[in-house]
Structure 1
Amino acid sequence: MKQLRSHNLNQIERNTFPGGKLNNGLVLVSGSFILLIFMLGLLFYAAPEESSENTDDDESLLMYCAAGIKPPVAATAAQFAEEEYGVPVKLQYGGSGTLLSNLRVAKTGDLYLAADTSYIDIARKQDLVKEAIPVAKLHPVIMVKKGNPQNIKSLDDLTKEGVTFALANPDAASVGKLTKKILEKSNKWEHISKSARVFKPTVSEVANDILIGTVDAGIVWDATVNQHRDQAEIVEVPELSQAVKNVTVGVLTSSEKPQQALMFARYLQAKGKGQKQFSDMGYQTVKGDAWEPHPEILLFSGGVNRLAIQDTLKAFEKREGVSINVVYNGCGILVGQINSGQRPDAYFACDTSYMVQVQPQFSLPLTVSETDMILIVEKENPKKIKSVYDLASDNLKVGIAHHEQSALGALTKKLLGPLRFKDKSLYDAIQPNVKTNTPTADLLVNQLRTGSLDAAIVYRANISKVADKLDVVEIKEGRPMAEQPIAILNSTKYPNLMQRLVDQLTSESSRAMFESKGFRWRITPESL
């Protein structure tokens, strides 16, 4: 058998390569025979089922990253994946403008990091980016080789005889876009751009040309030079000195993993995490939040805001991967708790008067909405109440909020105090009829609906769910209105996270919720 096999192999070899030439007929027959066996095998072969388990690709995040920001982002991504949370981050590099163009077409991925916030702003307007989180600052400079052999000291020196330089493409790279904008203001762009030896699509490529000696100089980011201090140095010039840009990461609306994407964005911005990498590599850092994978934040809110904000808060919790502990109560009680030492990360007051009392501990407040104070009575108004003066009539059961525990109570006293009824203030005149003083208005609504009260003063926003089950008497005296401001605690560990929460509470989707609950919207583009 062994001799037969050897004989057959030798015969094939001779037939295949007789005299060094290919025997095409035998090859064709042999190939056909092998193909037939292969096809028969396919008939009996069952392909394995695709695994239902998540692969690395399923778990990974795709991030479009400006090429000039590669070193700290790559290092942070590796740390995030390998040392911390096991979520791989795939990085696709390019110029900020080029990446934005790619995003418009692809509409896939999770994160987009641009070296200039203007690209993020464009992406947001085009509904490509939802959240925007600054992670570093950049400043344009002239980069030259160590020792500055061409003695370049100004922009004009770039165009001296014998000097060659590179610029970044304004349509592709953020530093190129900024350079063009600055130089156009000083009427130098046309001359300098025509004198450039080459335009590069990324800042990294401009720097590389300088390092290898292809050109003598180029305009790049300060951080780019800082990463090559042994080979290059910075030349500061007045035209570029005041230009500072925020390196910003945006979470893409196309992301199917927004919670993980936001976690990595927060990681890039966090003290001791991404910020350390940026600092170590020569970037100007930003004020980052304390790092927690799943932060817990405390929000104090006046009870009147509950129905308008609760759905927005739940959506924010889910998307950001955070927990919000919300304390709803009368603003008098909440202010007392703040003044006794409690520190909510943000405070959403029932009325401006209760924000003023704790203002030094919070940022400048933003007035979000307003709502009217109204008089509510039983359906069909059996007591024939026509105005707040009727609350002093005999045999009425009246409910008002507590003037020390509640903003509504304080505003009620402020509204009725100046009004006169017989020989006293209307507020004092109705006191014999007041059967309850509550810290929140929702308790007054419930008591009126159960027949315990004939009338109560509440906010219009308090009756959005039961408006068809009672009647409203409009208050025409004084200024029966409350304004709802929100402010962030100055000492919060999460200033950026809290600002995103405020942004969400002041968004158009939040506006629709507020207006459906009886509030008037106060936010304007100028107020943001």
Structure 2
Amino acid sequence: MSSKNRILLLIIGSVILLAGIFAILNLGNHATSDDPPQSIMLYCAASNRAVMESIREDYEQEFGRKVDIQYGPSQTLLSSIEVTRSGDLFLPADDSYLDMARDKQLVAEVVPIARMQAVVAIKRNNPKSIEQFSDLLRDEVRLVMASPDTAAIGKVVREVLSADGQWELIESSVTASRATVNEVANDVAIGAADAGIVYDAVLNTYDDLEYIELPELADAASQISVGVIASTDQPQAALHFARYLSARDRGLKHYAEFGFRTRGGDTWSDVPELSIFAGSMLRPAIEDTIAAFEKREGIKVNRVYNGCGILVAQMKAGQHPDAYFACDSEFMNQVHDLFPEPVPVSQNELVILVQKGNPKNIRSLRDLTRKDLRVGIGHEKQCAMGWVTQNTFRESGIQQEVMPNVTVQSPTGDMLVNQLLTGSLDTAVAYLSNAAGASESLDAIRIQDISCSVATQPWAVAEESKYPELAGRLFQQICSQSSQGIFAAEGFRWQLDANKGE
């Protein structure tokens, strides 16, 4: 065989080998894409078993993702999570267990779902004539309840009755203690007990039982929420199911059907799109937090940054975001009908920005009236900064004198900073946060003794938002310790009590 033929055979063989490798890799990729998604592991209180099975069936059918559920007493489930550090979600029968889990840094996000009320389960037609609290203490009434050391309802009832000095009476009358609330209901159903303290929702599946509500148990209610386990390796999938559970047109429908007390909830969307309007000056303080929230939740956050005057005009023209983060309370007040419950979050103060080293020797607002200066300020109608600036000028008594020197009125502080950096302005009145990224080139001179020079930034969720809970979780992230650090680094002063955002 000639050398040319040998070379030709080697080339052909190499091509065939590469084609085979490519085919194997392509087959592997195809096989991976067809693999079912990783299942979700949920630790769930026994009191929620019936409703959760109904929701699980719908979710698995709709999304093809398996949900593995371990049922049991809330305390036992919490202990299991603490020991194994495994699983994706934790749904106890009362939020107090989520508080404990948070204290131990076992859960991250918490999503509210529904409520349950403690009641007394009895046989239909009330054969023992149990009508009031004292009837539970009668010798002939066999009373059962769940253990306060393992089950949420036992814990909640003990706390409420202990506050009224009634717990010892009930405890001494209990003939049997069970691990879960379902076992209590079963005892009454089969005639092993005459009465049992249970959650009202648990009795939805017991046709032969009814319940009575007692004034002594009126405060013995439990908020049901689901927590994302902090160690989960699939937070997007966990949060997807948590959103499904708490959606008004998905999980909450089931909860209502099973006798739970529900209200509110987000509208369901596989990938929700949350819309946020925020003043331009807030962008450096919140953008990274929003981007991280987007990625973790597996959602889309459409944000619009602009001068608050412009944003208000857009909202009055019919563009209604899910949430609004205003540069100043005045511009939140202008859309109070859309955002009735604003929360003050941070503060930002006006300063006089000058070139590094202050070559024009500007020391106060009065110096801005000098004839040789080119001054930049915010536009009064387009942004909160401009509105606050004009109030500051008026309060200091220089408005008429300084305005002839104003050569630029901008909708954002960033534009003023850029013109200072290029030499188009000698000085500008802007927020301290606007100067945070230009400290090597600009100096900031504080405005003394003018109270209105400080702006307060409020946050609010729209009354008509389809995603109030999702917007609330974003706000929790904006209020986190790491986010507060970003605010401080950008020149803001935190105002909101940190505990209110968590």
Scaled by the length of structure 2, the TM-score of the pair is 0.91
Q: In the alignment, what sits opposite 1:215? A: 193
The structure-2 alpha-carbon separation of the partners of 1:488 and 1:108, relative to structure 1 and needing over 3 Å to count, comes to same
Q: In the alignment, what sits opposite 2:472? A: 499
How many residue pairs get matched?
Answer: 472
Distance 2:163 2:415 in 1: 62
Q: In the alignment, what sits opposite 1:248? A: 225
Q: In the alignment, what sits opposite 1:452? A: 424
Counterpart selection for 1:71 from 20, 35, 50: 50
Report the 3-state secondary structure (helix = DSSP H, G, I; strand = E; otherwise coil) of the residue aligned with 1:275: helix
Counterpart selection for 1:443 from 404, 412, 415: 415
How many Å apart are 1:145 and its aligned residue? 1.6
C-alpha contact 1:63 1:111 (8 A) present in aligned 2:
yes
The structure-2 alpha-carbon separation of the partners of 1:186 and 1:392, relative to structure 1 and needing over 3 Å to count, comes to closer
Q: Describe how 1:74-85 pairs up with structure 2 within 5 A.
A: 74-82=53-61, 84-85=62-63
The structure-2 alpha-carbon separation of the partners of 1:464 and 1:256, relative to structure 1 and needing over 3 Å to count, comes to same
C-alpha contact 2:160 2:219 (8 A) present in aligned 1:
no
How many Å apart are 1:286 and its aligned residue? 2.5
Q: In the alignment, what sits opposite 1:257? A: 234
The structure-2 alpha-carbon separation of the partners of 1:369 and 1:334, relative to structure 1 and needing over 3 Å to count, comes to same
Distance 1:237 1:196 in 2: 17
Paired letter, 2:139? E
Q: In the alignment, what sits opposite 2:328? A: 351
1:432 aligns with 2:411: no
Identity of aligned residues (%): 43
Q: In the alignment, what sits opposite 1:89? A: 67
Unaligned runs of 5+ in 1: 1-48, 421-425
Counterpart selection for 2:450 from 466, 478, 483: 478
Distance 2:150 2:31 in 1: 40
Aligned CA RMSD, in angstroms, stands at 1.9
1:181 aligns with 2:162: no
Q: In the alignment, what sits opposite 1:111? A: 89
How many Å apart are 1:268 and its aligned residue? 0.8
Counterpart selection for 2:265 from 283, 288, 311: 288
Q: In the alignment, what sits opposite 1:394? A: 371
Q: Describe how 1:264-343 pairs up with structure 2 within 5 A.
A: 264-343=241-320
C-alpha contact 1:370 1:521 (8 A) present in aligned 2:
yes
Paired letter, 1:168? A
How many Å apart are 1:92 and its aligned residue? 0.3
Tell me the alpha carbon deviations over residues 322-361 of structure 1, each in whole angstroms, 9 at most, x when there is no partner. Answer: 1111111111111111112110111101111111111121
Paired letter, 1:459? Y
How many Å apart are 1:76 and its aligned residue? 0.6
Paired letter, 2:466? K
How many Å apart are 1:389 and its aligned residue? 1.3
Unaligned runs of 5+ in 2: 1-27
How many Å apart are 1:467 and its aligned residue? 0.8
Q: Describe how 1:99-248 pairs up with structure 2 within 5 A.
A: 99-228=77-206, 230-248=207-225
**Rg larger in 1 or in 2?**
1
How many Å apart are 1:416 and its aligned residue? 0.7
C-alpha contact 1:378 1:471 (8 A) present in aligned 2:
yes
How many Å apart are 1:526 and its aligned residue? 6.9
Q: In the alignment, what sits opposite 1:469? A: 441
Distance 1:236 1:298 in 2: 43
Counterpart selection for 1:419 from 386, 390, 396: 396
Q: In the alignment, what sits opposite 2:12? A: none
Paired letter, 2:407? K
Q: In the alignment, what sits opposite 1:376? A: 353
Paired letter, 1:408? M
How many Å apart are 1:173 and its aligned residue? 0.6
Paired letter, 1:438? S
C-alpha contact 1:142 1:219 (8 A) present in aligned 2:
yes
Report the 3-state secondary structure (helix = DSSP H, G, I; strand = E; otherwise coil) of the residue aligned with 1:124: helix
Q: Describe how 1:13-92 pairs up with structure 2 within 5 A.
A: 53=32, 59-82=38-61, 84-92=62-70
How many Å apart are 1:67 and its aligned residue? 0.2
Paired letter, 2:39? S
Paired letter, 1:101? S
C-alpha contact 1:377 1:454 (8 A) present in aligned 2:
yes
Report the 3-state secondary structure (helix = DSSP H, G, I; strand = E; otherwise coil) of the residue aligned with 1:314: helix
Which deviates more from structure 2 when the two are superposed, residues 254-263 or residues 180-189? Answer: 180-189
How many Å apart are 1:464 and its aligned residue? 1.2
Which deviates more from structure 2 when the two are superposed, residues 155-164 or residues 336-345? Answer: 155-164
Q: In the alignment, what sits opposite 1:20? A: none
Deviation >4 Å, runs of 4+: 51-58, 525-528
How many Å apart are 1:395 and its aligned residue? 2.1
Tell me the alpha carbon deviations over residues 188-245 of structure 1, each in whole angstroms, 9 at most, x when there is no partner. Answer: 22232133221111101111111122212110011112221x2111122221134322
Distance 2:491 2:111 in 1: 33
C-alpha contact 1:134 1:286 (8 A) present in aligned 2:
no
Which deviates more from structure 2 when the two are superposed, residues 316-325 or residues 151-160? Answer: 151-160
The structure-2 alpha-carbon separation of the partners of 1:285 and 1:527, relative to structure 1 and needing over 3 Å to count, comes to closer
Paired letter, 1:128? L
Distance 1:455 1:378 in 2: 7
Tell me the alpha carbon deviations over residues 437-477 of structure 1, each in whole angstroms, 9 at most, x when there is no partner. Answer: 11000000000001111100110101111112112222114
The structure-2 alpha-carbon separation of the partners of 1:338 and 1:54, relative to structure 1 and needing over 3 Å to count, comes to closer
